[in-house]
Structure 1
Amino acid sequence: MEQQRLLVFVGSYAEAEESGVYVYAFDEESGTLTMTDSIAGLKNPTFLNVDADRRLLYAIAETVNQSGQKVGEAAAFAIDAISGSIQLLNREITVDSTTCHIQRDENSEFLTVTSYHGGMIGLFSIAEDGAIGQKLDVIQHEGKSQHPERQDRPHPHSSFYSPDEQFMLVADLGLDRIVTYKLDHDAKKLIHQSQVALHPGAGPRHLTFHPNGGFVFVINEVDSTITSFTYEKETGRLTTLATVSTLPAGFEGENSCAEITVSADGKYLYGSNRGHDSLVVFAIDERSGLLTLLQHISVEGGHPRHFALTPNGRYLLAANRDSDNIVTFEVDQNSGKLQFTGKSVTLAKPVCVVPVYLTT
């Protein structure tokens, strides 16, 4: 009889000779993580994507080309769900600069990598065996915004496919824009569709769709806010609704934001603060898309660069880069609020955590 096993895949900052990608088994009764594998050989495999159906893991990394220039790399791994181990399928140079994000469409036809430093997005095919395939398209952003250091040039930070796979939304921190591209499945290209400007100095980083498909929420790294939008699925167009702070009133310290996600039931939104070192929880009005603050809670560490809810929504795992730990929080199913379980694991510079159920 087939069983489901919850594995957690972790990316980190690491030198190539160090372990950089980790696999943990997660015990949903106790909230504990137990390492089952770790892989060295990749430099800074900081962001991951998992294809649970095909048991494949995709990681970005960085390397140098023949000219000695720093460039992006991506690696594909096969996952053994029973042992909780991974095995390299292939690795390929992607775009002509280091990358910060990797995303896959639901049909496993395309991979997208995003280059913060290079200001570009690369579209790649996925081979039949799940390996990283050919370069299909590269889009270069142009322009700047108001912050003299953070926004002197384009800095796309992420790319997310729309629920119907027709569009791809790119949050560009350097331009204060979310740029929507149409995904041309026949030509295998990205076609500019539209864009929406955020308030100057926002610095959009990551975004998430509401489960009803009618709203998009973006977390703004530079000014520690979250902006809500309505989303037209026919055109991919975003219309701004409102912006709220991720910080408690009266906080005066340095802070930047990182990750954002919405609960599977669409009732709650979660974001991370680096500096205040907290998770913020909002209730979502599912008719208006507006947010109401519910909670700030310490991440029990420093610099929560990423976090994720487990698939059933019972737990949240926060990856704290500067305190070298992943911390487990329990989610109150009635209120959406978080409570520290007392459980954490130590590993060097974790910056991405992806929990998925796999069939064994």
Structure 2
Amino acid sequence: MDSTGTGRAFIGSFTTAGGRGIITASVDPKTGALTELGATDAVANPSFLALSQDGSVLCTVSETEDGALAAFDVNGTLPRPAGAPVPVGGESPTHLALAGGHVLSANYGSGSVSVLPLRGGELGERVSVLRHQGSGPRTERQEGPHAHQVLPDPSGRWVVSVDLGTDSVRICTLDADTGALALHGECALKPGSGPRHLVFHPDGTHAYVLNELEPTLTVCRWDAGAGTLEPVGETAVVPDGEYTETYASEVVVSHDGRFLWAANRGHDSISVLALDESREKPALVTTVGCGGHWPRDLALDPSGRRLYAANERSGDVTWFDIDPGTGIPSRAGSIEAPAASCVIFG
């Protein structure tokens, strides 16, 4: 955020599909409107982005067959590369997260998680790679492991990785000194569901796994003391009869923990789910249009009052005002962003 109170957004995209790399935009503090400031294509396919805790370093995957991570200095108006991209030792990294002074990537193509140190704003050579094992019943998509997301839990004690190919979530420990990632346990989910992304509830005791191969949300209890994840229920994220060619992509939870939103590609919608006091029985309230085609990512702005959808195939980021009583988003505007895949704020 600059001296005027205006925030910034960073939009990732697929350069091999006509994207412009990383687009930087200003965020109007009153309306949430995005205005482009510039773009950089210094890295191929920067499809997922994450900021360091102090907001000074922007990290991105390079979702290519060889697979790499890259860091950018964002202290100026536009991001500047902080060194060359660093290979992750895995194929097609789709997601990354920062934890324990390291950057971790989920490598979809090779079904692994890589760890690279982040020191002084620059990435070092990878220090460990944890390879997933297994497969699933849908052989066309689950012939082997496909790590799709990696993130730390709210307690900071664990790292979890979501694998679409093995229908499971792995819980790991990360050694902050060495970067070694070690498997602690694995939570099996419904065979053939194809888990894609997970979000933790603000209460720190529940997590919600969004499935891609079936448009459903799996409710789990999370025990940060033991490092265990326990599935306790499942909810559809689109109405009955509308499952065909629907591939859910991202799930976010409201800051007050009352609502969940899921993006659905093909269905081209955003699902609104209300949570009860138990946090274990999400109810599908409605779905609204995503404002474009093929919503790959959803993000809340820092205030929690607006929701942004990165619509990959229509090439835009659309934003919505959220009704605080119902959780239902209403379209407020959009910005052109070819092959958009991710939006974050900082």
The alignment's TM-score, normalised by the length of structure 1, stands at: 0.91
Q: Does 1:21 align with 2:22?
A: yes
Provide the C-alpha distance between the structure 2 equivalents of 1:286 and 1:125, rounded to a whole number of angstroms. 40
Q: Check conservation: 1:266, 1:286, Cα contact below 8 A.
A: no
Q: Distance in 2 between matches of 1:121 and 1:183?
A: 12
- SS where residue 127 of structure 2 aligns? strand
Offset at 1:226? 0.4
CA distance in structure 1 between the aligned counterparts of 2:246 and 2:112, rounded to whole angstroms: 26
Structure 2 residue corresponding to 1:301, chosen from 292, 295, 299: 292
Tell me the distance in 2 between the aligned counterparts of 1:10 and 1:288.
31
Q: Is 1:141 aligned to residue 136 of structure 2? A: no
Cα contact 1:20–1:42 (8 A) shared by 2:
yes
- The structure that is strand-richer by fraction is 1
Q: Identify the residue that residue 269 of structure 1 maps to in structure 2.
A: 260
Partners of 1:211 and 1:254 in 2: CA distance: 32
Please tell me the residue identity of whatever aligns with 1:43. A
- Uncovered stretches (5+) of structure 1, i.e. residues with no partner: 64-69
| Residue of structure 2 equivalent to 1:258 | 249
Which deviations, in whole Å up to 9, do the C-alpha atoms of 1:179-214 show, x marking residues without a partner?
111122344311111111111111000101111100
Partner of 1:78: 73
Q: Describe the shift of the 1:52–1:190 C-alpha distance in structure 2 as closer, same or farther (beyond 3 A).
A: closer
- Of 113, 117, 123, the residue aligned with 2:109 is 117
Change (3 A) 1:288 1:320: closer
The Cα shift of 1:95 comes to: 1.7
**1:348 corresponds to which of 335, 338, 341:** 338
Q: Which of 118, 123, 131 is the equivalent residue of 1:126?
A: 118
Q: CA RMSD in A?
A: 1.8
CA displacement 1:100-143 (0-9 Å, x = unmatched): 111112x5x0110111111111011111x211123121011111
Distance in 2, matches of 1:249 and 1:317, equals: 26
1: CA distance, partners of 2:275 / 2:250: 17
Shift of 1:24: 0.6
Tell me the amino acid that sits aligned with residue 92 of structure 2: T
Counterparts of 2:243 and 2:186, CA distance in 1: 32
Report how far residue 28 of structure 1 moved.
Answer: 3.1
Letter in 2 for 1:87: R
Query: Between the two proteins, what is the percent identity of the paired residues?
Result: 30
Do the aligned partners of 1:306 and 1:319 also contact (CA within 8 Å) in 2?
Answer: yes
Please say which of residues 114-123 and 185-194 is displaced more in the overlay. 185-194
Out of 93, 96, 103, the residue aligned to residue 102 of structure 1 is: 96
1:66 aligns to what?
A: none
Where structure 2 has 5 or more consecutive residues not aligned to the other structure, the ranges are none
- Cα deviation for residue 19 of structure 1 reads 2.4
CA separation of 1:181 and 1:300: change in aligned 2, threshold 3 A:
same
| Closer, same or farther: CA 223–252 of 1 in aligned 2, 3 Å | closer
Equivalent position of 2:209 in the other structure = 218
The farther-off stretch of 86-95 and 114-123 is: 86-95
Alignment length (residue pairs): 344
Q: CA deviation at 1:15?
A: 3.7
1:62–1:260 Cα change, 3 Å: closer
Bigger drift between 148-157 and 44-53 goes to: 44-53
Provide closer, same or farther for how the CA distance between residues 54 and 26 of structure 1 changes in structure 2, counting only shifts above 3 A.
Answer: closer
